Amino acid sequence: MSETSRFRSTEGSHGALKGAQTAWDMLSEEQMQKHITTGCEELDAILGGGIHCKEVTEVGGVPGIGKTQLGIQLTVNVQIPVECGGLGGKAVYIDTEGSFMVERAHQIAEGCISDLLDNTAHRLKDFPACPERLQPNSFLSNIFYFRICSYTEQIATINYLEKFLEEQKDVKIIVVDSITFHFRQDFDDLALRTRVLSGMSLKLMSFAKKYSLAVVLLNQVTTKFVEGSFHLTLALGDTWSHACTNRIILQSV
């Protein structure tokens, strides 16, 4: 990080330290913070209103449960205009598995827009500019997509993201699908893997804090034998477990 670009939220920096904030100021800020809805009410309730900005959330589940769907939904939901209660921001989607499908994203965007138009029809009359923005194609154009084929590309992309985020000030969510895919197989040096992963998690957390955006990491699950029974836990458990603020596992009933 450059010397001059300390944290953006330096308002209320205490005399003690440049860039420090009192908890009181943070509390008032947090209360004004908007959440990104996942589209599912129960999930929103568990998350406390939706995905929080300035935090890293990890979502795990068995293959096929809908993690990618959730990821795409979030990249669409973040673009809900501010007038309709959303963040009106852009999204970054980092795809390591190749599971992002444009057609599906188009469908989800259409569904979201029609929901918006239905629910908030009366408000939109006051803002005639909205209908142009509320086109599926404009939604798609606000999702920045990165395709990654190896772990070195992943590290490089995350390092490059900082510059990208400086230029694109509107990005409000980063979705990584999935964060540990390239690190699970064929990684010989475990110590190196630990170092790389912890460095990556630090970087992502710093983006979340510095640019006030949400980071959502999609992860695979494994089973773990704990106290006589099998539990589902997120992959790379021990090394990765302390990296995130919130961790969710999706299970099918």
Binding site for other proteins (CB under 8 A): 1, 7, 14-24, 26-27, 30, 54-56, 188, 190-192, 194-196, 198-199, 201-203, 205-206, 208-209, 224-227, 238-239, 241-243, 245
Q: Which is nearer to other proteins, 125 or 163 (CB)?
A: 163
* Closer of 68 and 154 to other proteins (Cβ): 154
What is the closest distance, in whole angstroms, from the C-beta atom of residue 101 to other proteins in the complex?
Answer: 31
Q: Whole-angstrom Cα distance, residue 59 to residue 246? A: 8
Please tell me what DSSP assigns to residue 229: E
Shortest CB 58 distance to other proteins, Å: 12
CB of 75 to other proteins, least distance (A): 21
Helices 67-77 and 102-119: crossing angle, nearest 10°?
50
Residue closer to other proteins by CB (options 18, 169) is 18
CB-CB contact of 83 with 133 (8 Å): no
- Taking the C-alpha atoms of residue 136 and residue 118, their distance in angstroms, rounded to an integer, is 16
Of 98, 96, 86, residue with least CA distance to 123: 86
Minimum CB separation of residue 13 from other proteins in Å reads 9
Report in angstroms how near the CB of residue 194 gets to other proteins at its nearest: 7
Using the minimum distance from each CB to other proteins, give the nearer residue, 126 or 188. 188
- C-alpha span between 90 and 75 (Å, rounded): 8
- Cα dihedral 71, 213, 133, 45 sign: positive
The nearer residue to other proteins, 168 or 239, going by C-beta atoms, is 239
Q: Write the CB contacts of 158 (distance below 8 Å, at least 6 apart in sequence).
A: 94, 200, 203, 204
Cβ neighbours of residue 127 under 8 Å, at least 6 residues apart?
83
Instruction: Give the shortest CB-144-to-other proteins separation in angstroms.
Output: 23
In the bound state with other proteins, the residue whose beta carbon lies nearer, of 87 and 234, is 234
